[in-house]
Amino acid sequence: MRNFQAITVSQLNNYIKVLMDSDEHLEHILVVGEISNFKGANINGHIYFSLKDEESSVSAVMFRNSAKYLKFTPENGMKVYVFGRVSVYEKSGNYQIYADRIEPVGVGAMAQAYEELKNKLDKEGLFDPDKKRPLPKYPKKIGVITSATGAAFHDIINVISRRYPLCEIIFCPAFVQGSECAASNISALEEINKHDDIDLIILGRGGGSKEDLWGYNDENLVRAVRNSKIPVITGIGHEIDTSLCDLASDKSAPTPSAAAEIAVPDIAALYQMNDDLLVQINKEIKNYLENKEKELTSLNVIIKSFDPLTTVNSRITEIENLKVRAENAIKSYLSKEEIKVNSLDSELKRLDPVKMMKKGLLTVDISGKKLISAKELKVGDKIFLNLSDGTAGCTVDSIKLK
Amino acid sequence: MTYENASAKLKELVDELEKGDKTLEDTVKLYDEAVKLSGYITALLNNAKLKITEISNIDKDNKVSE
Q: Would you list the DSSP string of A2-39?
A: TT-----HHHHHHHHHHHHHT-HHHHSEEEEEEEES--
For chain B, how are helix, strand and coil distributed in percent, rounded to 5? 70, 5, 25
In contact, A221 and A215? CB cutoff 8 Å: yes
Q: Which of A171, A180, A285 sits opposite B64 (nearest CB)?
A: A180
Top-confidence residue, A238 or A145: A145
Q: What is the pTM of this model?
A: 0.57
* Segment 34-53 of chain B within 8 Å of chain A by CB: 34-35, 38, 41-42, 44-45, 48-53
Mutate to test the interface with A, among B2, B26, B64 (most CBs of A within 10 A): B64
A205 pLDDT band, cuts 50/70/90, is: very high
Range A132-265: architecture per CATH:
3-Layer(aba) Sandwich (3.40)
Q: CATH top-level class for A9-106? A: mainly beta
Collapse the DSSP code of A81 into the 3-class scheme (helix H, G, I; strand E, B; otherwise coil) and give the result.
strand
Task: Kindly report the nearest CA distance between residue A9 and chain B, in angstroms.
Answer: 36
Task: Kindly report the nearest CA distance between residue B4 and chain A, in angstroms.
Answer: 6
A41 pLDDT band, cuts 50/70/90, is: confident
Cα distance between residue A169 and residue A160, in whole Å = 9
Cα distance between residue A201 and residue A169, in whole Å = 10
- A174 contact partners, CB below 8 Å, separation of at least 6: A145, A146, A147, A181, A184, A185, A187, A188, B58, B64
Domain extents for chain A?
9-106, 132-265, 353-395
The pLDDT, as a whole number, for residue A108 is 60
Q: Look up the ipTM and state it.
A: 0.84
Tell me how far CA of residue A222 lies from CA of A170, A215, A246, in angstroms: 21, 10, 8
Collapse the DSSP code of A141 into the 3-class scheme (helix H, G, I; strand E, B; otherwise coil) and give the result.
strand
Tell me how far CA of residue A254 lies from CA of A120, A242, A262, in angstroms: 24, 8, 11
Q: Is the pLDDT of residue A72 over 90?
A: no
Cα distance between residue A400 and residue B32, in whole Å = 116
Q: Which of B27, B44, B45 sits opposite A285 (nearest CB)?
A: B27
Q: Is the pLDDT of residue A241 over 60?
A: yes
Pairing state between β A251-253 and A232-236: parallel
**Yes or no, beta carbons of A187 and B24 under 8 Å apart:** no
Q: Is the pLDDT of residue A367 over 80?
A: no
The pLDDT, as a whole number, for residue A103 is 85
Show the DSSP H helices in A34-150 as ranges.
64-67, 109-124
The pLDDT, as a whole number, for residue A259 is 96
In contact, A202 and A144? CB cutoff 8 Å: yes
Residue type at position A114: Y
Cα distance between residue A262 and residue A234, in whole Å = 10
Question: What mean pLDDT comes out for the span A198-224?
Answer: 90
- A190 contact partners, CB below 8 Å, separation of at least 6: A224, B57
Question: What mean pLDDT comes out for the span A61-78?
Answer: 84
Q: Is the pLDDT of residue A289 over 60?
A: yes
The pLDDT, as a whole number, for residue A109 is 63
A212 pLDDT band, cuts 50/70/90, is: confident
Measured from the Cβ of residue A373, the count of other Cβ atoms closer than 10 Å reads 7
Q: Does B6 touch chain A (CB under 8 A)?
A: no
Q: Is the pLDDT of residue A82 over 60?
A: yes
Q: Is the pLDDT of residue B10 over 70?
A: yes
- The 10s digit of each residue's pLDDT in A91-135 is 989 999 999 999 887 556 677 788 889 999 999 999 999 999 999
**Yes or no, beta carbons of A171 and B18 under 8 Å apart:** no
Cα distance between residue A241 and residue A253, in whole Å = 10
H or E element in which residue A95 lies: strand A94-104
Mutate to test the interface with A, among B57, B62, B65 (most CBs of A within 10 A): B57
B54 pLDDT band, cuts 50/70/90, is: very high
**Yes or no, beta carbons of A168 and B51 under 8 Å apart:** yes
Using CB atoms within 10 Å of the CB of residue A345, give its burial: 0 to 12 exposed, 13 to 18 middle, 19+ buried.
exposed
In contact, A181 and A216? CB cutoff 8 Å: yes
Q: What percent of chain A has pLDDT over 90?
A: 58
Task: Kindly report the nearest CA distance between residue A217 and chain B, in angstroms.
Answer: 18
Integer-rounded Cα Rg, in Å, for chain A is: 68
Mean pLDDT across chain A: 89
In contact, A293 and A189? CB cutoff 8 Å: no
DSSP A41: B
The pLDDT, as a whole number, for residue A2 is 63
Question: What mean pLDDT comes out for the span A141-161?
Answer: 94
Q: Is the pLDDT of residue A56 over 80?
A: yes
DSSP A149: S
Task: Kindly report the nearest CA distance between residue A246 and chain B, in angstroms.
Answer: 23
**Yes or no, beta carbons of A188 and B61 under 8 Å apart:** no
Top-confidence residue, A180 or A369: A180
